[in-house]
Amino acid sequence: MSRETDFSKMTAWYVLNSPEIGKPFSDFYSACNKDGILDKKTRELVMLAVASIFRCPECTEAHIKAALEAGVSKEEITEALLIAAAEAAGTQISWAKEIYQKYLGNGA
């Protein structure tokens, strides 16, 4: 399947294989993409940042395209990705600190 496939017109594999859980998840995901308090640009930047941190290439590509279509600039996309990367690094350092201290203590 090429990256040009319109996934919005396909039934997700998880809906086909577990409709009792997959369908409510799919409905929830769809609801998150509808107009709400956040505007489309902000919503796409959030979804792009999350997709990039969780390393989903298809999701990242889809949200870059959707962000551009929503009027997000290349600079805004770049900044959102950098902020997401910085936050991800910070959470990794925090997690590592807890494990480090558990096994190696606090001091030098």
CATH number, residue 96? 1.20.1290.10
Predicted local distance difference test score (pLDDT) of residue 65: 97
> Is 58 part of a structural domain of the chain?
yes
> Is 18 part of a structural domain of the chain?
no
Give yes or no for a contact between 59 and 67, defined as CB atoms under 8 angstroms apart: no
Range of the domain at 66: 39-108
> Is 8 part of a structural domain of the chain?
no
Predicted local distance difference test score (pLDDT) of residue 108: 61
Q: Along the 108 residues of the chain, how does pLDDT read in single tens digits?
A: 344 445 456 788 999 999 999 999 999 999 998 989 999 999 999 999 999 999 999 999 999 999 999 999 999 999 999 999 999 999 889 889 888 888 998 866
> Is 21 part of a structural domain of the chain?
no
> Is 5 part of a structural domain of the chain?
no
Distance, first Cα to last Cα, the chain: 53
- How many domains would you assign to the chain? 1
Of 26, 23, 24, 22, residue with least CA distance to 8 = 26
74-104 and 57-69 helices, crossing angle to 10° = 140
Give yes or no for a contact between 46 and 84, defined as CB atoms under 8 angstroms apart: no
